[in-house]
Chains A and B, each alone.
Chain A
Amino acid sequence: MNWIYITESASALNSLTWTVVVVGIGIVFLSLLIVYWFFRYVLTFILNFRLKSFARKKGIDPAEVQTAKTIQSGEVNAAIAMALYSYFNELHDVESGVMTIKRISRHYSPWSSKLYNMKNL
């Protein structure tokens, strides 16, 4: 359909203009609704079917596999990943963090001794 048929006057809102609006909104909703149905029902059905047949092959109870899948959460994965990251990246000895130079009890040190720096003639 060409827009010529929609309206002859730029400012006129006739029935065909409303058709564009109604059909437009309808198609946007319909498209996303179909994608929703597909991923909510069709894809879930296919994936569950695959999962169950795989479980049957391996001799596992399909219901158990399904439960294991649904309890997975991104938060749990994130916590595990964070723990592993912290463990592997922060492996070092614990230090006091005090930077003050310790005084030693023995005050004498030969490094600045006049005796060793002067020629003893």
Chain B
Amino acid sequence: MLALLVITSLAWTAFVRPEQERQTALAESGIEAAAALPQLQQDQPGKEGFAEGLMQFWAFTGFRNVTSGHLIMIVVGLIFIFLAIKYEYEPLLLVPIGTGILIGNIPFFTDGGMNLQVGIYQQGSVLNYLYFGVMKGVYPPLIFLGIGAMTDFSSLISNPRLLLLGAAAQVGIFATFIGALLLGFAPPEAGAIGIIGGADGPTAIFLSSRLANGINILPDGTTVKNLIGPIAIAAYSYMALVPVIQPPIMRLLTNKKERLIRMKPPRAVTKTEKMLFPIFGLLLTCFISPSALPLLGMLFFGNILKESGVTKRLAETARTSLIDIVTIMIGLTVGASTQADVFLTRESIMIFGLGAAAFAVATTMGVLFAKGMNIFLPEGDKINPLIGNSGVSAVPDSARVSEMEGLKADKTNHLLMHAMGPNVAGVIGSAIAAGILLSYLG
């Protein structure tokens, strides 16, 4: 009897209720079910019924609904996957994003506003639920937790003046903000675009989900554009292209003598210092810019888990399983959010242009600031300006670029450890900048 009851209720939940809900939804949206969905005529036997069945099948296939936009985006997705596999450009990001672009651009039936609950922007679809983490800025703080749990701040603690390089590179954010305003973007959109200059994917997603989410209302009554997809794709694309974008600028702004500067090896850092850094870092930065709390709070929390020495299991989970899971989610959904009709716009092209400029300005400012600091530093204690580019927070790619460029000038001059200082400072700096933009424009 009980089993019968269970089976009946399961059958009701699985088959009858969804159909009722679908009918109700269609009735509410004013769409005639018959008009929206080509129904198979059961009472027409023979060839006509069969042909209609085939037509209905055809109507639902991607081949019937495909547009040139879909095809362009599918090619873009394939290029992402190719770059990740062939050249290993940020494969952990580009493979999920590339696959996400393919998933997001599979054409499906949308005639008459029909909601098949398939697409990422369709209410009730699985992808839409996963996209919730992007829309509400849930994933970026979790990524920051993992980054905090895997980051060693030793190089920064041993040479804290490198923090200033991380600040200098953030000028790129504000320069891009001005550029975006000049191109006609609304201030919140411009703020979200500007953060691309921070070279930090999670921060870019976090800020764009708050400022350019397609939900907020502008004072003139129009809705702010949904730019999360283009901004995230631009940020991650340029992060992957850091080894291509930065070296020419670094070589252009430095001379041979500067590239050969040897920096003093970092001093040993005590456990107490490592423990105190995240605690005081959290308190000092978040008191100045509380809006950066979701990002900086999680970043320093992750680092406290790592450095406390008593929460090894939690730190291990945060820097391995947790960050991997969130990276999969964020990569896939951001990729899928580039649905052709939303992504292939004039704004996206402008965002990509602004993003490239943002990276160039950020790199330039970092290198120039390092050169500027050298004016005031005594001989033997100077900074190699090749680490200035690491002020952008593409960890650890930009630090790796510093190392490679340093080795090109002098095969025995390793800059990686020194470059990690401004690199992690850049993460903190871009999160603070995001907090400031959020407090003004949000």
Neighbouring A residues of B265 by C-beta, 8 Å = 73-75
A33 to chain B, nearest CB (A): 7
In the complex, whether B366 has a CB less than 8 A from a CB of chain A is no
Which residue in chain B gives the minimum CB-CB distance to A72? B268
Main secondary structure of the interface of B (DSSP, over half): helix
Contact A40 B161 (CB under 8 A): yes
Which residue in chain B gives the minimum CB-CB distance to A26? B436
Per-residue contact bits, chain A 12-46, to B (CB 8 Å; 1 contact, 0 not): 11000100110111011111111110111001000
* Separation of A77 and B158 alpha carbons in the complex (Å): 15
Interface size of A by Cβ–Cβ distance < 8 Å? 37
* Separation of A77 and B265 alpha carbons in the complex (Å): 12
Neighbouring A residues of B289 by C-beta, 8 Å = 27, 31
Which residue in chain A gives the minimum CB-CB distance to B183? A11
* Separation of A75 and B439 alpha carbons in the complex (Å): 44
Contact B182 A13 (CB under 8 A): yes
* Separation of A92 and B181 alpha carbons in the complex (Å): 69
* Separation of A11 and B178 alpha carbons in the complex (Å): 9
Given contacts A25-B174, A31-B288, A36 and B163 within 8 Å (CB-CB) = yes
In the complex, whether A6 has a CB less than 8 A from a CB of chain B is yes
Which residue in chain A gives the minimum CB-CB distance to B216? A3
Which residue in chain A gives the minimum CB-CB distance to B285? A31
In the complex, whether A4 has a CB less than 8 A from a CB of chain B is yes
Per-residue contact bits, chain B 334-352, to A (CB 8 Å; 1 contact, 0 not): 0000000000000000000
B415 to chain A, nearest CB (A): 15
* Separation of A75 and B265 alpha carbons in the complex (Å): 8
Neighbouring A residues of B221 by C-beta, 8 Å = none
Contact B280 A43 (CB under 8 A): yes
Per-residue contact bits, chain B 166-188, to A (CB 8 Å; 1 contact, 0 not): 11101101100110011111111
Which residue in chain A gives the minimum CB-CB distance to B162? A36
In the complex, whether A63 has a CB less than 8 A from a CB of chain B is no
In the complex, whether A118 has a CB less than 8 A from a CB of chain B is no
Q: In the complex, which of the residues B167, B182, B266, B442 contacts A11, with contact meaning CB atoms closer than 8 Å? A: B182
In the complex, whether A7 has a CB less than 8 A from a CB of chain B is yes
B216 to chain A, nearest CB (A): 10
Contact A38 B280 (CB under 8 A): yes
Contact A28 B436 (CB under 8 A): yes
Binds A, one of B97-105, B269-277, B321-329: B269-277
Chain A residues in the interface with B (C-beta under 8 A): 1, 3-4, 6-8, 10-13, 17, 20-21, 23-25, 27-36, 38-40, 43, 47, 70, 72-75, 77
